Amino acid sequence: MLLAQAPLHQWINFTAFARFVYRLNPTFLQRRQRAFASPHWWIEQEEGRPLQPTQWNDWLRAEGRYLARLLQGPLYWWGASDLALSADGRLLAFRLTSMAGFLLNGLSIIEQDRLLANGPAEPAIEMSEQGELSILSSPENWPVIELIERFAEVQGVQAGRLSYRLTPKSLGEALHRGEVFAPLLDLLHRVVDASSIENSSMASALYQLERRIAHYGRARLYTDVTLLEVADTLTMRELGATTSIEKQIAHRIHPTLVLLNKQGGEQLVEELKRRGQTPLLHGDE
Amino acid sequence: MDVSDLYLLQNVPPYHLQALVKARHLPVFTNPADAISLSSLNLPEIGEALFDPEACQEVIRGLGEIETRILNELVACGGRANSRDLALYFTSAQLLNTGKDKHVGAQFIAPSPSEKSSDVSAFPGTEPHTGGTRYKRDTPTLGIGSLRPYAEAAPPSALQYPTPHPHGVFEQALHRLLMLGLLFWGKQTNFVGRDYANGVYDGVLIVPQAVMDAAQAVLRSHVGAQFIAPSSQADALAADYQEDLRSLQRSLYLYWSLVSSVREGLSLVSSKLLSRPALRQVIEQLGPPADIERIRTEADGPHLLFMRLLLMKLGLLYERNGAILAAPADAFFALPLLERARRCYRLWLETSFWNELNYLPGVILRPGPGPLDPAHPEVIHARAMVMERILQAQSGEWHTLPAFIARAKLYVPYLLFPRQYGARAERYSTGSNPYGWDFRLRHGWLTHREGWHLVEGGFIRAMLSGPLRWLGLVELHEENDMDAFRLLPQSALITGETAFDIEELPWGKLVVQPNFEMLALAPVSEALLIRLDRFAERTRLEQIAQYRLTKASVTRAIQMGMHAEEIQQILEQAGGGSLPQNVCYSLMEWERQARRIELWPRMTLLEVDDAALLDELFADAKTRPLFGRRLAPLLAEVVSDQLANLQELLWQREYLPALVVAPVYTQVLESGRMPVHEPQWRLLGDGLLQPCYPVVNLYLAAELERITTYDEATGWRRITPSSIQRSPDIPLEHIVRFLQQYCLDGVPPSFLIRLKLWGGGYDRQNVISVEAAPMLRLSAQALHDIQADEEVGELLEEEVPSENRLVRVPQDRLARIVELLRERGFVVED
């Protein structure tokens, strides 16, 4: 039971927790039923549209809702969970109480206090030279998992450990969102420091990661760009006089080669077509 | 003597042993007194005499025609077969007749007298050149018949095992073979209390190993090499048989060409079959219009489905976003004809894209496979076994399907249903076959015996009437409800592994006329058609192909990345000479006009901080294909589908490339719609914008330029009063939000004051007055009353307007505050 593994007395973001459960055991509710070609029962969103527990959005509609109900209903009534709800009553976060420790793990208050006093252990993370991170899915790693999921690509579960990969895409997206790398690097430094001396591959992987992050912004890729080129400057002047091109130019590369705003490209084509001057529109192949 | 032969003798009743000894005139036991000693069963001695190679060969040579055929068939199928299955084959293949009409491959076709050979016909197991009609060039083209669901087109004839009769020709022949010790019944055959040598039983017939060896030795001495020599195979292909191979390749080309001409591809429905409109397009291109109404889904037209799946397997078509799209096909169609045919054949034979079990005539499968479900490995294995049988058949002769299927049962009895999956008799039930399906008739269950001819036999029919016909390996007899087939001569070449040095017929030339018409003369190569399709309009395609060059078609080609020079080169190469002058001129002029204004939407660009990096990437042959043009020293085009590879490449070089999607909304500052993005600058107190990265987002930089000026000292941008006032259309609020969002740590408060003053952010009230103390603080009502008081009112001065704010300032700091406020841009009145 994954809920029993969640840390006590700690506020947990419900969406993140749900994703955690989805990753580890998406079919916890329907179990083997999904393996059958003709299951005995299933959940439908509407008539003839069965929900697929392996699809995140479908899973949220059935299993995710069940989890929320469990926390907001029985566990809350028994005093096993504290809740943080949005204005419209949606579950935002929850905190398991001592009662949950007792009900779910059979821990007495004294035992729970002793466990709390021991403090969280250093999270057991392994990092390969290729930037793959492997984390034990245990309650004390829960905040770390949340942190890593902000920067890394999910790679599934391998040998009971959550697997992630730091890729240019995932790191670039994190930076694009305005995420700050310091907590991640700090965590990885702590892991490297805590690991044995012979584990130098982790140290070198971390060093490489830091260099890459330091080099962020030295190269920039632009997608979905609209490029306009004309035969000569005379044609460009003509376009300037007869169309709205000047307003659409985002960047001039050469006098005859410019970057247009996205809508600007479409508008220019329309204007030229109206004037009977169909531009050569290149395909995206 | 083989131990198994001795074992056979041990299971023979003593009276039959005596009969054997007599019939074979074994010298040791010819004395009647010795007959008693047989009861002591001196089997090894009897066996030695009975299975003596020389003696066996002599007996075999003395056999009658029917006995010889039976014995040789048994030897060919491994020495064991069920007696009734053997009887069925001999009856259905009409092998029990003797004389002139013996061994007729197909009843409906009279054999040519010149093709009979008395020597060879004595050994039917060798499949001599008797019966049937020699191959004649009358292969029907794939038309309506080929589009018909072939499972329905080949209904199995009613199965009738011949009734065993003690005086029947087959049974009598068996009797003689049993009597001569050339044949034995299997251990499980029930003949207790009856005559062992009777040929009417339903049981397994076994040929002793010694007899097998002797029969093969006799065969070898009679039959010369009957195979077709490689040179004659090569000759066969070099002749007009190439037409059959071309037919398939032409169909593949037409299908591919249709898909490539539809920009958004052929749409699929949720079952992954073609949608109805897409299917109509395919039928219009490949089949007669009459089929449009009959074929409602792709599953109704197996030939078309097979073509699509084969093209996908060849990598010439692919699925993306619920549509079938065309991949480059030049390389495939440029291959020699035979190589292409072989690839198609191998893909069908060895992969799972086609499932013949979907097309068993008259058999219902529950739950059964879907039309696109891949074939089970056992199906692929069974396919190979059947192909082995088919290729044993004499090329060019007609073979009836019932006889072929009956014979196949003798050779591959466990076809489709290996014994490890369950009891043989229950193989058509779920749980006893590898497929987990029930195989049954529409109204009842299949029996063990008839089932073979409907399920396994249906599988063979499905192979012959489907893929093998479509691939140009066999021909079906159209006039006899497709119940006979013949191997086409090129089948040996297609199915073989040998690399023949075959010279293909030269492709026809291309004639380009001054009126822009082009004629590709027969035989037309598909590779040329593909090239012409790119820049010309096809007007006709039969034996010859007719195209027309137009401004629109050339412009379309240029749009796809071609150049007029390249088009000219292709045409000159295909035509073997120079083009008419007006055609050359028009090509150049059309290109010039087309390229006057060029627009590339959805491009991917790479911007770097160091030109040396791009120099290096463009110079390296491995990384060059990732890029298109180099637009500027620091800016290059990236091939669209290489983005991930380029990201990985830069990652390997310790770069973390930033990824920017071109903003959907233009005029960010006017609209106030700011896309999410990481900060690009740090705004300093003096209005200078220090870039956070060597390469900043050029879209944001372009916006920034509208509210800043270039600072020559630093090379950065700077916000000045004039730069802010230059764009009165941009609201100050948007400027502030832009700077807050894209500047690290936002806007310094001191600079925010200046910014607001420059932008008229204080409602143009930039004057601050220093009020002299003392002042009274009291309620509005009290102030109203004391202002009316005739004594107090006269002592008060002007009231501070209520819309202004007052703040206390210590006297000793006043001068400094006034100085700073003036520095910020306020006018301070003492």
Q: Look at residue B546 and give its three-state secondary structure.
A: strand
Q: How many residues does chain B have?
A: 830
Nearest to B643 among A223, A230, A280 (CB): A223
Q: What percent of chain B has pLDDT over 70?
A: 86
B640 and A284 in contact by Cβ < 8 A? yes
Stretch (H or E) spanning B592:
helix B581-594
Separation CA B149–CA B482 (nearest Å): 13
pLDDT on residue B566: 93
Chain segment A241-256, per-residue pLDDT in tens:
999 888 888 889 999 9
* For B648, nearest residue in chain A (alpha carbons): A168
Count of beta carbons in the 10 Å neighbourhood of residue B38: 17
Contact at 8 Å (CB) between A33 and A40? yes
Tell me what the mean pLDDT of segment A175-193 comes to. Answer: 85
Contact at 8 Å (CB) between A163 and A33? no
Q: What is the dihedral of CA B168, B171, B176, B181, to 10 degrees?
A: 180
Nearest CA to B685 out of B719, B715, B716 is that of B719
pLDDT on residue A117: 62
Contact at 8 Å (CB) between B129 and B115? yes
Contact at 8 Å (CB) between B607 and A220? yes
ipTM of the complex: 0.70
- pLDDT category at A177 given cuts 50, 70, 90 is confident
Using the Cα atoms of residue B439, residue B443, residue B445 and residue B447 in order, give the sign of their dihedral: negative
Q: How many residues does chain A have?
A: 285
* Edge-to-edge strand list for the sheet holding B364-366: B364-366, B438-441, B444-445
B677 and A248 in contact by Cβ < 8 A? no
Stretch (H or E) spanning B27:
none
pLDDT on residue B40: 53
- pLDDT category at B542 given cuts 50, 70, 90 is confident
- The dihedrals phi and psi of B804, each to the nearest 5 degrees, come to -90, 160
Residues of A in Cβ contact (< 8 Å) with B637: 227
Top residue of B602, B673, B681 to mutate, by most chain A CBs within 10 Å, is: B602
Tell me what the mean pLDDT of segment B507-528 comes to. Answer: 89
A29-33, A116-120, B255-259, B410-414: the lowest-pLDDT one: A116-120
Count of beta carbons in the 10 Å neighbourhood of residue A80: 21
pLDDT on residue B492: 84
Q: Radius of gyration (Cα) for chain B, nearest Å?
A: 45
- pLDDT category at A131 given cuts 50, 70, 90 is confident
Give the DSSP letter string of B490-529: THHHHH------PPPPPPPPEEE-TTSEEEEPSSPPHHHH
Stretch (H or E) spanning B186:
none
Is the Cβ of B320 closer than 8 Å to some Cβ of chain A? no
Separation CA B99–CA B188 (nearest Å): 36
Q: Which two tokens stand for residue B242?
A: 């190439």
Give the DSSP letter string of B748-813: -HHHHHHHHHHTTTTTT--EEEPPPSP-----HHHHHHHHHSTTHHHH--PPPPTTS------GGG
Stretch (H or E) spanning B828:
strand B827-829
Is the Cβ of B744 closer than 8 Å to some Cβ of chain A? no
Separation CA B824–CA B750 (nearest Å): 7
pLDDT on residue A187: 87
Side-chain-facing half-sphere of B245: CA atoms under 13 Å:
31
Separation CA B36–CA B512 (nearest Å): 97
Tell me what the mean pLDDT of segment B117-129 comes to. Answer: 37
Tell me what the mean pLDDT of segment B218-232 comes to. Answer: 56
Residues of B in Cβ contact (< 8 Å) with A247: 666-667
Give the E-state strand segments of A130-267 in sequence order: 132-136, 153-158, 161-165, 219-230, 249-254, 257-260
Is the Cβ of B270 closer than 8 Å to some Cβ of chain A? no
What does the DSSP 8-state code read for residue B99?
G
Q: Which two tokens stand for residue B665?
A: 């909304």
Q: What is the dihedral of CA B730, B736, B742, B743, to 10 degrees?
A: 130
pLDDT on residue B114: 38
Nearest to B655 among A175, A219, A250 (CB): A219
Separation CA A39–CA B544 (nearest Å): 57
A219 and B607 in contact by Cβ < 8 A? yes
Give the E-state strand segments of B633-673 in sequence order: 635-638, 658-661
Q: Which residues pair with A157 in a beta bridge?
A: A162
For the purposes of burial, counting CB atoms within 10 Å of the CB of B164, is it exposed (0-12), middle (13-18) or buried (19 or more)?
A: middle
Tell me what the mean pLDDT of segment A153-181 comes to. Answer: 84
Nearest chain A Cα distance for residue B385, angstroms: 31
Separation CA B261–CA B30 (nearest Å): 86
Separation CA B122–CA B126 (nearest Å): 9
Q: State yes or no: pLDDT of B101 exceeds 70.
A: no
Is the Cβ of B264 closer than 8 Å to some Cβ of chain A? no
* For A171, nearest residue in chain B (alpha carbons): B656
Separation CA B304–CA B308 (nearest Å): 6
Q: Which residues of B367-393 are buried (b: 16+ CB within 10 A; e: fewer)?
A: eebebbeebbebbbebbebbbebbeeb
Task: Tell me the CA distances in angstroms from B675 to A120, B436, B664, B667, B705, one per residue in order.
Answer: 39, 55, 9, 11, 17
Nearest CA to A20 out of A147, A166, A167, A171 is that of A147
Using the Cα atoms of residue A127, residue A128, residue A132 and residue A135 in order, give the sign of their dihedral: negative
Give the DSSP letter string of B107-154: TTSPPPGGG--HHHHT-GGG--S-SS----S-PPPSSHHHHS-HHHHS
Separation CA B384–CA B390 (nearest Å): 10
Residues of B in Cβ contact (< 8 Å) with A168: 647-648, 650-651, 656-657
A176 and B659 in contact by Cβ < 8 A? yes
A218 and B608 in contact by Cβ < 8 A? yes
Instruction: Tell me how many helices (H) and strands (E) chain B has.
Output: 39, 26
Chain segment B729-744, per-residue pLDDT in tens:
889 999 999 999 999 9
A141-150, B216-225, B351-360, B659-668: the lowest-pLDDT one: B216-225
Task: Tell me the CA distances in angstroms from B284 to B255, B292, B324, B425, one per residue in order.
Answer: 11, 8, 17, 47
Tell me what the mean pLDDT of segment B669-674 comes to. Answer: 85
Separation CA B819–CA B203 (nearest Å): 121
For the purposes of burial, counting CB atoms within 10 Å of the CB of A15, is it exposed (0-12), middle (13-18) or buried (19 or more)?
A: middle
Separation CA B750–CA B687 (nearest Å): 10
Separation CA B708–CA A11 (nearest Å): 46
Q: State yes or no: pLDDT of B111 exceeds 60.
A: no
Q: Which residues pair with B690 in a beta bridge?
A: B682
Tell me what the mean pLDDT of segment A212-235 comes to. Answer: 91
CB pairs under 8 A between A and B: 216
Cβ-Cβ contacts under 8 Å for B578 (sequence gap 6 or more) = B572, B584
What does the DSSP 8-state code read for residue B719?
-
Q: Which two tokens stand for residue A170?
A: 């995932």
Chain segment B599-639, per-residue pLDDT in tens:
998 899 999 999 999 999 999 999 999 999 999 999 999 99
Instruction: Tell me how many helices (H) and strands (E) chain A has.
Output: 14, 13
pLDDT on residue B233: 53
* For B677, nearest residue in chain A (alpha carbons): A176
Nearest chain A Cα distance for residue B813, angstroms: 41
Q: State yes or no: pLDDT of B125 exceeds 50.
A: no
Give the E-state strand segments of B609-676 in sequence order: 627-632, 635-638, 658-661
Separation CA B19–CA B36 (nearest Å): 13
Residue tagged 């009063």 (tokens): B721
Separation CA B666–CA B625 (nearest Å): 32
A220 and B677 in contact by Cβ < 8 A? no
Chain segment A96-121, per-residue pLDDT in tens:
888 888 887 777 777 766 666 665 55
Is the Cβ of B819 closer than 8 Å to some Cβ of chain A? no
Please give the single-letter amino acid code of residue A44.
E
Output B634 or B143, whichever has higher pLDDT: B634
* For B630, nearest residue in chain A (alpha carbons): A253
pLDDT on residue B691: 95
Q: Which two tokens stand for residue A16?
A: 């993140």
Q: Which residues pair with B439 in a beta bridge?
A: B365
Q: Look at residue A50 and give its three-state secondary structure.
A: strand
